[in-house]
Amino acid sequence: MAAQLPALAQACEVVATPAIRHMGTLGGNLCQRPRCWYFRRNVPCFKNRGSSCPAEDGENQYLAILDAGPCFAVHPSDPAVALTALEAIVVVSSERGSRTIPIDDLYLLPAQRADRETTLEPREFISAITIPAESSGGTQRYHKLMQRDAWDFALVSVAACKRMDGSVRIVLGGVAPRPWRVNSSVEEDVASGGLDDDAIATLADRALLDAKPLSKNAYKVDLAASLLRQVIGEIA
């Protein structure tokens, strides 16, 4: 896998601790609940029998800067970011049979459903993940910035895939309630190549035009821009 899908291999390598990686499943990692102090501590909120988001004006330094509201929790999965860049297909099973979901359609925004994060129905589970052949090879990267050096959730992460046909997909993690794909116009400009440092910086800034940081997480805009500049330079 590391040779054909290095972005996914790199993302899996930085998930939690080695013990958790050996015990956990990829499907479970994709479906984990949000990392939010208030939600995890059972404080009433939109996801926990409440009617407001205490993090919006509270401890929000690790929360979303894109696609957020009324809940601002970010999705914590590393592999989900890489799999979105690779355009994976999720196979979902239950006693009723199986169906497939493009990973772009697996996650719900809080504005769509504040009480759940995925489009899985009750009693369904992820039984397999397939990746199209055209996503194999090419130039792939996964980078993750953490508060600690290892075994921590991403403050910001990025996965990028430049396929053999020259098309590009770039996805950010740690910045939104789901893996956040960069605007397709930015991807197209990256795919065109021939970019100098100024052009790369302009594309990184353009990718984040819609960012709306909260009171304590504006630093994530700078981190995301830095990672985007790095990964665009590597794949362009």
Interval 195-218: pLDDT, tens: 999 999 999 999 999 999 999 999
Distance CA 109, CA 90 (A): 18
Task: For the chain, give the longest Cα–Cα distance.
Answer: 54
Q: What pLDDT does residue 29 have?
A: 92
Q: Which of 28-42, 181-195, 212-226 has the lowest mean pLDDT?
A: 28-42
Q: What pLDDT does residue 20 have?
A: 75
157 CB-contact burial (10 Å; exposed 0-12 / middle 13-18 / buried 19+): buried
Cis preceding-peptide flag for 70 (omega within 30 of 0): yes
The domain locations on the chain are 1-236
Neighbouring residues of 79: CB distance < 8 A, sequence distance ≥ 6: 8, 11, 12, 15, 26, 29, 30
pLDDT band at 19 (very low <50, low <70, confident <90, very high): confident
- What does the buried/exposed string (b/e) look like for 203-217 if buried means 16 or more CB atoms within 10 Å of the residue's CB? bbeebbeebebbeeb
The CATH architecture to which 1-236 belongs is 2-Layer Sandwich (3.30)
pLDDT band at 2 (very low <50, low <70, confident <90, very high): confident
Q: Please write the tens of the pLDDT for every residue from 64-79.
A: 999 999 999 999 999 9
Assess whether pLDDT exceeds 90 at residue 30: yes
pTM score, whole prediction = 0.94
